[in-house]
């Protein structure tokens, strides 16, 4: 022991005989011990040293009993004892897994068991009882804060002593023997502390101690059986004696049978000379027969597993141990506990349980304190039911609200056990307590059904009506069976689950028989697929396909549309053309919007169609799918006429589908929304019983049946009754045709004490007879023994294989025949390359066999190898791609007219009548065979001669760069438009391209000012390094701050980097963006200048000045005006002046990189040259903006 700790303990005092003499420094020493305990390490060394020195037995208990007058010392000793007796689980948090810490844990628990044995005296509890009595005598207004603290500490001390677990190795007690816990209970009874506990439980003014009292009561009745306690007394010992006699009789029969078997096995010869035998027909490891080296009387016990070492089960797969054991205490202790239970029920139960429930609901209790509530509910309701059943004594917990509270906690524990795997065993124990409470609630309601009083039976009927109506109560047992895990849940949990299910089914069956029809609540999780049709009119179901009908319908619609255009007040309010709540992206909802417009036209709703068209144009302006922004009213009407006559792809909704097919498609559908639909339906008991006909439930029952010798007679009856329901009532005997079950039946029938299990033996013979009857018809039943079966396999075994598919008329469709596969292959190969139509819809329209869904056709195409993936058949964005003959002739004429020009596509798109996107026109030109590849349609640029006023090298380099960037622009334009037409592009590229400066301003206002300044500095440093070194190489942009790193991950910032020509990292090879080596220093400085803010531009402007020859000043000004006009930055006055100049000279001008700061000699400043960039990917255009003072 530590020297300081030893000196402190010596200063407490000493025991002389039965008298304890305290030292003058006794109080200070007790306080020092409390201080030492507060600073102990993780091994609880101070606690172990005090336990080894037996301070509590030799010093603290004598001080408590002999120096009670010293109130200050008494309070300090109580504080120290509460700390010393604290449970080991609270000290260590949990049972340690590390061997060294686990040793300390077990050592602390051993000292606690010694403390419990020392407290088992009337003297110690007498002092505690007297002190508590005096404190409770004080009125509420007379009590001080110290008094309330002392009351709480006394209750905690009693709780800690009762909580200490028993040591079975030390006690080795049998039933009816007084254990240490029994001695402690008897000391509590003799001291009168039990009466004070009853007073605290029943007094309305002492409700603050309700949880402490309930915890003490639960620990007092630990290891007790409520039915046995209720049976203690007059005439009940005979029942216990009869139970013991029955158990002894079973053991006697088994022993006599074993003696008889051993006598028959004795051989006349000595075992050494028994000889060796060859067992014909039984192969050994090789191909030879087995050689048996023992006597023939031992042959029936031969097994191939003899002599083998049993495989060790890993610790993580071992079954959960049984933690709670029940034993029978001494008779006087049981009589005391029975009387305590009776008084508690009569005076305290309803008030205490109501107070505890209020604490739990208001969250005034500690975590997991509801377990004490559920234990008390199960224990005292069982005692009340077993002694003299009076529902009024337990009325507080006999309600539908209590059922709901227990069910909610049981479901919560069940979910936590599945998610919190580290604490799964603890959650399983809590779930077991909740299940016991639920079982007792059902048993009490069932007992009320047999009452002689009409009011009690009516209350029972109301409770059952509520329970059986709600779906959660009926589905609870199925969920518990399906998720039963032997690793976390002990065998006792399975036993209680089987017994509770038996009771629930018996009550439900009787309730259904007493009523003609029973309506119950049905909650169905409807899997709501992604919306394919958004708010379609009712007329969309009957779409007229005949062109004649459409021609007859159009004049009326045209008249409506003309009225709407002439009188805008007739147009309905703007309609949202997309579903914001749908999981389908807005960009992919264009097809649905087009179908909605067509449905409105077919329904004769012209104003709605026009409003929907205009709303869709605002949402999807790219590609002019719904018309261009400045479309005329006449063009809108023509566009609506085209939409009316267009063959748009629609969803095919089958009229009737079987339940199995619906379930299959629901499982395959991704990103579904679950909507709970509540309805009512008529309840059929056999349909509910069919839910238990699955292999997981049967496995759980068979697992419990394996321990039929240890099970009670009632448990075995519950198992057999459920299996009999499945086999006989549902006609599913084949569900039990499993080899492990037959091995269990063989062990049962060969059991010498089989006479004690008559019900089990009868059921086993019934199942075996059914099996051998089936084998006469179906020889494959022997193979089916190896597998657990579901209901479909059971039906096939008994009715013939293939009977499930032939009988399911409304269910799953039969497989694809050879003729159907040949037709499917032919249709796919014929229509897969046809433009403007969906190949799957075409196949569905031409299939002449049994009706198929779109999903079935797609999956079978993938299965046949005609397609690589289901994703190949996803519907893309819908566009009007129907080309008439006149339009094709017009396109061919325009191509022949402009094929020798520099910009073929530009002239065609400008002169074509039916406005279409660039990608669609290119595709049509390639389909007509006018061009063989897209490159032929790119803009052609001719090199200019070197100007006399500009160096040849610079001019030629500029032309080379322009040709290179022009070709890149064409490629990017085509790619962007193709992505735009497919519906996969998020942004349209074209006329509305942001300049570098405007994008930089946007990023600046969004808080990227620091990253922009860092990027600008990097560009300037790279330019300076390249000017100094004379050579250039790619420079990585390495962000060193968190703000710059976040900016480099931003999509908008990356878009700016691409516009500036910064190269993205190569996937798998590089990490950082890089400044390309091909960018010259002057070009880098211009890029840096384009990133400057207005207040910084004046500083960078002198560095970027370029000398512009006088002869080119006018040309540069004219080009700048043209660029401003195209970008929309030109004022009306400037626009008019520029128009006059353009009339004089209409020569094509190339955009140049301009940066001039010239000033007029008259004092007027020339327009300041700014550097916003209009570019695509790697191209930079620096434009001018005039600034007026």
Q: Is the dihedral of CA 592, 593, 596, 597 positive or negative?
A: negative
Element (H, E) at 521: strand 518-528
Residue 1145: band (very low, low, confident or very high) from pLDDT cuts 50, 70, 90: very low
Query: Is pLDDT above 70 for 1082?
Result: yes
Query: Is pLDDT above 50 for 137?
Result: yes
Token pair belonging to 728: 């006989």
Q: How many helices (H) and strands (E) does the chain have?
A: 52, 8
421-440 residue pLDDT tens: 888 889 999 999 999 999 99
How far from the centroid of its chain's Cα atoms is residue 1157's Cα? 64
Q: Cα–Cα distances in Å, from 1136 out to 1126, 1128, 1183? A: 14, 14, 20
Closest-CA residue to 483 (of 404, 411, 429): 411
Residue 351: band (very low, low, confident or very high) from pLDDT cuts 50, 70, 90: very high
Token pair belonging to 61: 């208990």
Q: How many CB atoms lie within 10 A of CB 827?
A: 19
Query: Which position has the token pair 């438009």?
Result: 977
The HSE-up count of residue 989 (CA atoms within 13 Å, CB side) is 20
- Distance (Å, rounded) from C-alpha 679 to C-alpha 629? 50
Element (H, E) at 280: strand 277-283
Percent of the residues in the chain that have a pLDDT greater than 90, as a whole number: 24
> Of the ranges 481-490, 544-553, 1180-1189, which one carries the lowest mean pLDDT score?
1180-1189
What are the two backbone dihedrals, phi and then psi, of residue 682, each rounded to the nearest 5 degrees? -80, 135
Query: Is pLDDT above 50 for 238?
Result: yes
The HSE-up count of residue 1062 (CA atoms within 13 Å, CB side) is 26
* Longest pairwise C-alpha distance within the chain: 142
> Of the ranges 526-535, 675-684, 931-940, which one carries the lowest mean pLDDT score?
526-535
Query: Is pLDDT above 90 for 1130?
Result: no
* Dihedral in degrees, nearest 10, Cα atoms 619, 620, 622, 627: -100
384 contact partners, CB below 8 Å, separation of at least 6? 345, 390, 393, 394, 444
What are the two backbone dihedrals, phi and then psi, of residue 1173, each rounded to the nearest 5 degrees? -110, 130
Closest-CA residue to 705 (of 697, 447, 783): 697
Across 1075-1091, b (16+ Cβ under 10 Å) vs e yields beeebebbbbbbbbbbb
- Distance (Å, rounded) from C-alpha 995 to C-alpha 1001? 10
Residue 542 or 868, more confident: 868
Residue 639 or 775, more confident: 775
Helix axes 590-602, 606-619, angle to 10 degrees: 170
Closest-CA residue to 667 (of 812, 861, 868): 812
Residue 228: band (very low, low, confident or very high) from pLDDT cuts 50, 70, 90: confident
- Distance (Å, rounded) from C-alpha 762 to C-alpha 728? 13
Is residue 641 a contact partner of residue 884, using CB atoms and an 8 Å limit?
no
pLDDT at 3: 84
- Distance (Å, rounded) from C-alpha 997 to C-alpha 1000? 5
- Distance (Å, rounded) from C-alpha 1026 to C-alpha 1018? 12
Element (H, E) at 682: strand 673-683
955-985 residue pLDDT tens: 443 443 444 444 444 444 544 444 444 443 3
Percent of the residues in the chain that have a pLDDT greater than 70, as a whole number: 75
Token pair belonging to 516: 């003609």
Average pLDDT of the residues in 481-505: 92
Give all strands (DSSP E) within 529-599, no chain letters.
none
Query: Is pLDDT above 80 for 278?
Result: yes
> Of the ranges 27-41, 387-401, 653-667, which one carries the lowest mean pLDDT score?
653-667
Helical residues (DSSP H) of 11-67, grouped into ranges: 26-38, 45-52, 55, 61-66
Token pair belonging to 914: 């039916």
pLDDT at 506: 94
Residue 61 or 817, more confident: 61
pLDDT at 737: 94
Is residue 1168 a contact partner of residue 1157, using CB atoms and an 8 Å limit?
yes
Element (H, E) at 15: strand 13-16
Token pair belonging to 472: 């959660």
Q: Cα–Cα distances in Å, from 1047 out to 184, 1003, 1022, 1054? A: 71, 10, 20, 8
Is residue 699 helix, strand or coil? helix
What are the two backbone dihedrals, phi and then psi, of residue 679, each rounded to the nearest 5 degrees? -145, 180
Average pLDDT of the residues in 614-633: 76
Is residue 85 a contact partner of residue 157, using CB atoms and an 8 Å limit?
yes
- Distance (Å, rounded) from C-alpha 468 to C-alpha 478? 15
Average pLDDT of the residues in 896-916: 82
Beta bridge partners of 1035: 1075
753-762 residue pLDDT tens: 788 888 999 9
Is residue 1089 a contact partner of residue 1101, using CB atoms and an 8 Å limit?
yes
Whole-structure pTM value: 0.59
Residue 932: band (very low, low, confident or very high) from pLDDT cuts 50, 70, 90: confident
Pairing of strands 518-528, 673-683: antiparallel
Q: Give one word for 788, left, alpha or beta, with left for phi > 0 and alpha for psi -120 to 50.
A: beta
Residue 271: band (very low, low, confident or very high) from pLDDT cuts 50, 70, 90: low
Is residue 521 a contact partner of residue 470, using CB atoms and an 8 Å limit?
yes
Average pLDDT of the residues in 896-904: 83
> Of the ranges 118-122, 743-747, 1164-1168, which one carries the lowest mean pLDDT score?
1164-1168
Token pair belonging to 1057: 């980097």
Q: Is the dihedral of CA 951, 954, 956, 962 positive or negative?
A: negative
pLDDT at 169: 72
**Mean pLDDT, the chain, integer:** 77
pLDDT at 875: 60
- Distance (Å, rounded) from C-alpha 1083 to C-alpha 1153? 10
Residue 593: band (very low, low, confident or very high) from pLDDT cuts 50, 70, 90: confident
Closest-CA residue to 811 (of 662, 994, 640): 662
307-344 residue pLDDT tens: 777 778 887 788 888 877 777 888 888 898 999 999 99
Output the CA angle 905-906-907, nearest 5 degrees: 95
pLDDT at 1092: 73
- Distance (Å, rounded) from C-alpha 580 to C-alpha 275? 88
What are the two backbone dihedrals, phi and then psi, of residue 178, each rounded to the nearest 5 degrees? -85, 115
Roughly how many angstroms between the first and final C-alpha of the chain, as a whole number?
Answer: 93
Output the CA angle 132-137-138, nearest 5 degrees: 105
862-890 residue pLDDT tens: 888 888 777 777 665 444 456 777 788 88
Query: Is pLDDT above 70 for 794?
Result: yes
How far from the centroid of its chain's Cα atoms is residue 1050's Cα? 30
DSSP for 637-663, written as a single string: HHHHHHHHHS--------S---HHHHH
Query: Is pLDDT above 90 for 157?
Result: yes
Pairing of strands 277-283, 289-292: antiparallel
- Distance (Å, rounded) from C-alpha 829 to C-alpha 660? 31
Q: Cα–Cα distances in Å, from 296 out to 98, 264, 266, 302, 751? A: 52, 11, 10, 10, 21
Helix axes 547-566, 590-602, angle to 10 degrees: 90
Residue 845: band (very low, low, confident or very high) from pLDDT cuts 50, 70, 90: confident
Closest-CA residue to 1153 (of 1090, 1103, 1092): 1090
61-84 residue pLDDT tens: 999 988 888 899 999 999 999 999
Residue 526: band (very low, low, confident or very high) from pLDDT cuts 50, 70, 90: low
Q: What is the CA radius of gyration of the chain?
A: 45
> Of the ranges 460-474, 928-942, 1035-1049, which one carries the lowest mean pLDDT score?
928-942
747 contact partners, CB below 8 Å, separation of at least 6? none
pLDDT at 171: 67
Residue 251: band (very low, low, confident or very high) from pLDDT cuts 50, 70, 90: confident
pLDDT at 818: 82
Residue 1011: band (very low, low, confident or very high) from pLDDT cuts 50, 70, 90: confident
> Of the ranges 229-233, 566-570, 792-796, which one carries the lowest mean pLDDT score?
566-570
Query: Is pLDDT above 70 for 1022?
Result: yes
- Distance (Å, rounded) from C-alpha 424 to C-alpha 422? 6
Average pLDDT of the residues in 831-855: 79
């Amino acid at each position: 022991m530590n020297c300081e700790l030893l000196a402190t303990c010596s200063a407490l005092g000493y025991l002389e005989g039965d008298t304890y003499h305290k030292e003058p420094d006794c109080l200070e020493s007790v306080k020092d011990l409390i201080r030492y305990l507060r600073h102990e390490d993780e091994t609880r060394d101070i606690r172990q040293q005090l336990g080894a020195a037996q301070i509590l037995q030799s010093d603290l208990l004598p001080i408590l009993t002999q120096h009670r007058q010293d109130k200050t010392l008494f309070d300090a000793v109580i504080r120290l004892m509460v700390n010393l007796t604290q449970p080991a689980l609270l000290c260590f948090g949990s049972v340690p897994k590390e061997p060294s810490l686990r040793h300390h844990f077990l050592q602390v628990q051993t000292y606690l068991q010694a403390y419990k044995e020392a407290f088992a005296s009337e003297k110690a509890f007498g002092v505690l009882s007297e002190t508590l009595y005096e404190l409770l005598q004080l009125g509420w207004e007379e009590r001080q804060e110290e008094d309330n603290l002392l009351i709480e500490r006394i209750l905690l001390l009693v709780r800690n002593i009762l909580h200490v677990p028993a040591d079975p190795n030390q006690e080795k007690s049998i039933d009816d023997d007084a254990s240490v816990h029994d001695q402690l209970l008897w000391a509590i009874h003799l001291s009168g502390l039990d009466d004070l506990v009853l007073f605290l439980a029943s007094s309305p003014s002492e409700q603050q101690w309700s949880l402490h009292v309930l915890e003490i009561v639960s620990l007092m009745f630990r290891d007790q059986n409520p039915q046995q306690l209720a049976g203690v007394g007059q005439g009940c010992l005979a029942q216990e004696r009869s139970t013991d006699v029955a158990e002894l009789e079973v053991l006697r029969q088994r022993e006599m049978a074993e003696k008889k078997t051993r006598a028959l096995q004795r051989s006349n010869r000595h075992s050494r000379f028994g000889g060796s035998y060859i067992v014909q027909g039984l192969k050994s490891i090789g191909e030879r027969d087995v050689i048996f080296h023992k006597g023939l009387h031992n042959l029936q016990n031969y097994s191939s597993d003899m002599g083998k070492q049993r495989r060790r089960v890993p610790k993580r797969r071992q079954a959960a141990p049984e933690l709670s054991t029940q034993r029978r205490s001494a008779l006087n202790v049981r009589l005391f506990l029975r009387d305590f239970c009776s008084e508690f029920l009569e005076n305290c139960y309803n008030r205490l349980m109501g107070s505890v429930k209020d604490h739990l609901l208001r969250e005034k209790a500690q975590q997991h304190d509801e377990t004490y509530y559920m234990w008390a509910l199960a224990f005292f309701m069982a005692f009340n039911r077993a002694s003299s059943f009076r529902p009024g004594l337990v009325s507080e917990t006999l309600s539908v609200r209590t059922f709901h509270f227990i069910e909610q906690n049981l479901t919560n524990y069940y979910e936590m056990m599945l998610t919190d795997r580290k604490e799964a065993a603890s959650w399983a124990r809590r779930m077991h307590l909740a299940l016991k409470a639920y079982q007792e609630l059902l048993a009490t309601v069932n007992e009320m059904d047999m009452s002689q009083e009409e009011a009690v039976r009516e209350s029972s009927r109301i409770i059952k009506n509520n329970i059986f109506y709600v779906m959660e109560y009926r589905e609870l047992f199925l969920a518990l069976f399906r998720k039963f895990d032997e690793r976390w849940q002990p065998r006792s949990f399975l036993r209680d689950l089987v017994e509770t299910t038996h009771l629930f089914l018996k009550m439900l069956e009787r309730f259904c028989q007493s009523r003609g029809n029973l309506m119950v609540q049905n909650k169905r999780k409807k899997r709501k697929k992604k919306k394919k049709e958004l708010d379609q009119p009712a007329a969309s179901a009957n779409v007229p396909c005949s062109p004649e009908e459409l021609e007859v319908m159009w004049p009326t619609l045209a008249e409506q549309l003309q009225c709407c255009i002439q009188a805008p007040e007739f147009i309905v309010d703007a309609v949202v053309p997309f579903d914001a709540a749908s999981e389908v992206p807005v960009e992919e909802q264009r097809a649905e919007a087009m179908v909605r417009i067509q449905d409105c036209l077919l329904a004769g709703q012209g104003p709605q169609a026009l409003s929907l068209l205009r709303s869709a144009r605002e949402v999807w302006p790219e590609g002019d799918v719904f018309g261009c922004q400045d479309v005329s009213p006449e063009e809108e009407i023509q566009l609506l006429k085209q939409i009316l006559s267009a063959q748009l792809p629609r969803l095919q909704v089958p009229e009737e589908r079987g339940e199995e097919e619906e379930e299959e498609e629901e499982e395959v559908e991704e990103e579904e929304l679950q909507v709970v639909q509540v309805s009512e339906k008529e309840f059929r008991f056999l349909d509910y019983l069919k839910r238990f006909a699955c292999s997981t439930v049967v496995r759980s029952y068979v697992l419990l049946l394996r321990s039929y010798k240890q099970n009670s007679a009632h448990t075995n009856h519950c198992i057999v009754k459920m299996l009999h329901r499945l086999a006989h009532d549902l006609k599913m005997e084949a569900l039990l045709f499993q080899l492990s079950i037959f091995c269990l039946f063989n062990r049962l029938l060969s059991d010498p004490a089989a006479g004690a299990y008559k019900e089990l033996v009868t059921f086993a013979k019934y199942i075996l007879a059914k099996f051998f009857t089936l084998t006469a018809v179906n020889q494959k039943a022997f193979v089916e023994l190896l597998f657990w079966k579901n209901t479909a396999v059971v039906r096939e075994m008994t009715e013939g294989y293939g009977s499930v598919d032939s009988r399911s008329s409304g269910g799953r469709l039969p497989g694809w025949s050879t003729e159907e596969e040949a037709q499917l292959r032919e249709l796919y190969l014929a229509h897969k390359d046809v433009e403007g139509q969906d190949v799957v819809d075409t196949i569905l329209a031409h299939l002449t066999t049994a009706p198929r869904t779109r999903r079935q056709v797609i999956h079978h195409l993938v299965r046949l190898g005609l397609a690589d993936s289901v994703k190949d058949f996803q519907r893309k964005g819908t566009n009007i791609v129907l080309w008439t003959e006149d339009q094709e002739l017009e396109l061919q004429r325009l191509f022949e007219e402009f094929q020798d020009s520099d910009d073929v596509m530009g002239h065609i798109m400008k002169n074509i009548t039916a406005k279409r996107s660039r990608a669609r026109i290119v595709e049509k030109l390639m389909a007509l065979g006018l061009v063989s590849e897209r490159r032929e349609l790119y803009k052609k640029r001719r090199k200019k001669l070197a100007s006399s006023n500009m160096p040849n090298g610079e001019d030629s380099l500029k032309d080379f760069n322009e040709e290179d960037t022009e070709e890149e622009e064409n490629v990017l334009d085509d790619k962007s438009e193709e992505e735009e037409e497919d519906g996969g592009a998020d942004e349209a590229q074209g006329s509305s391209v942001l300049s570098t400066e405007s994008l930089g301003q946007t990023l600046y206002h969004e808080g990227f000012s620091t990253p922009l300044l860092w990027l600008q500095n990097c560009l300037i440093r790279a330019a300076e390094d390249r000017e100094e070194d004379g050579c250039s190489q790619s420079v990585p942009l390495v962000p060193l701050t968190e703000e710059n790193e976040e900016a480099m991950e931003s999509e908008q910032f990356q878009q700016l980097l691409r516009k500036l020509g910064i190269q993205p990292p190569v996937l798998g090879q590089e990490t950082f963006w890089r400044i390309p080596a091909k960018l010259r220093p002057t070009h880098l400085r211009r890029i840096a200048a384009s990133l400057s803010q207005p207040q910084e531009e004046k500083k960078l402007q002198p560095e970027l000045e370029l000398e512009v020859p006088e002869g080119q000043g006018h040309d540069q000004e004219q080009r700048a005006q043209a660029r401003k006009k195209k970008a929309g930055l030109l004022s009306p006055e400037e626009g008019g002046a520029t128009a006059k100049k353009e009339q004089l000279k209409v020569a094509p001008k190339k955009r140049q990189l301009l940066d001039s700061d010239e000033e007029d000699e008259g004092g007027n400043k020339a327009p300041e040259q700014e550097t916003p960039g209009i570019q695509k990917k790697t191209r930079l255009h620096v434009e001018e903006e005039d600034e007026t003072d």
